[in-house]
Amino acid sequence: MAGFELSGLSASFGGTRVVGPLSLAIRPGEQVALVGKSGAGKSTLIRLVHEEVNRHTSLVPQELGLVNALPVFHNVFMGQLDRHSVWYNTVTLIKPFAEDKKAIRALLTELDMPEKLWTPAAALSGGQRQRVAIARAMYRKAELLLADEPVSALDGPMAHLVMRRLKQHFPTSLIALHDVELALAYCTRIVGIQDGQVALDESSDKLTASDIVSLY
């Protein structure tokens, strides 16, 4: 499956409803931006969708989930941990196979950081850490991308480069974005979240930035 159709999505914290109940459907080939102010429920909605369809997704969580003590190579390799035997993964921890090194270096080259292959994650900048989490998602090669503010720590040119790469690697995606211009430029559909509900759902080519800013 590349798309999905979910209904009755909801989440509460401390007895307070923060998302839903709402329905969300994404068709194969759609690249959907989740927009809205901080605290509107975008991150929670990404998490709810991931819980429902996680085996079919590549995930870039906002907290990234990197292992600081491991180098970039092993953090990216984790995208395919569940596709190999325990033996294979154990050997890779000690002496990685040439094929995996080649594939991961190629992804890092796409993201303009091939020289960081053996750098410990703890030594990376915030933007570099985001790109490692993105490379891990690409390495997983799922048809559906779920990403929560994947370019928030990147400057303009690098943010555009990463969004282009995500669009190339994932035909179907749901990406929470704070940058309205990036959402309009790289996504085919905009879903606006306000107070945990869908307040806007429209094709990108029918919207301008001014149509979206009211959600903030």
Q: Taking every pair of C-alpha atoms in the chain, what is the biggest distance, in angstroms?
A: 54
Tell me the per-residue pLDDT of 174-200, one tens digit each, with 9 for 90 and over. Answer: 999 999 999 999 999 999 999 999 999
What is the predicted pLDDT for the residue at 214?
86
What is the tens place of the pLDDT at every residue in 90-121?
A: 999 999 999 999 999 999 999 999 999 999 99
Cα–Cα distance, 124 to 106 (Å, whole number)? 19
Residue 78 and residue 58 in contact, taking contact as beta carbons nearer than 8 Å: no
**Cβ-count burial 85-123 (b if 16+ within 10 Å, e if not):** eeeebeebeeebeeebeebbbebbebbebeebbeebbee
Q: What is the mean pLDDT of residues 163-169?
A: 97
Question: What global pTM score does this model have?
Answer: 0.94
Ordered domains of the chain (ranges, CATH): 4-215 (3.40.50.300)
Q: How buried is 210 (Cβ within 10 angstroms: 0-12 exposed, 13-18 middle, 19+ buried)?
A: exposed
- Is the per-residue pLDDT at 1 higher than 60? no
Reported as a pLDDT band with limits 50, 70 and 90, residue 164 is: very high
pLDDT at site 138: 98
Torsion of CA 157, 28, 213, 45, to 10 degrees: -100
3-state secondary structure the chain: CCCEEEEEEEEEECCEEEEEEEEEEECCCCEEEEECCCCCCHHHHHHHHHHHHHHHEEEECCCCCCCCCCEHHHHHHHHHHHHCCHHHHHHHHHCCCHHHHHHHHHHHHHCCCHHHCCCEHHHCCHHHHHHHHHHHHHHHCCCEEEEECCCCCCCHHHHHHHHHHHHHHCCEEEEECCCHHHHHHHCCEEEEEECCEEEEEEEHHHCCHHHHHHHC
Instruction: For tokens 């989440």, name the residue.
Output: 11
Q: What is the pLDDT of residue 36?
A: 93
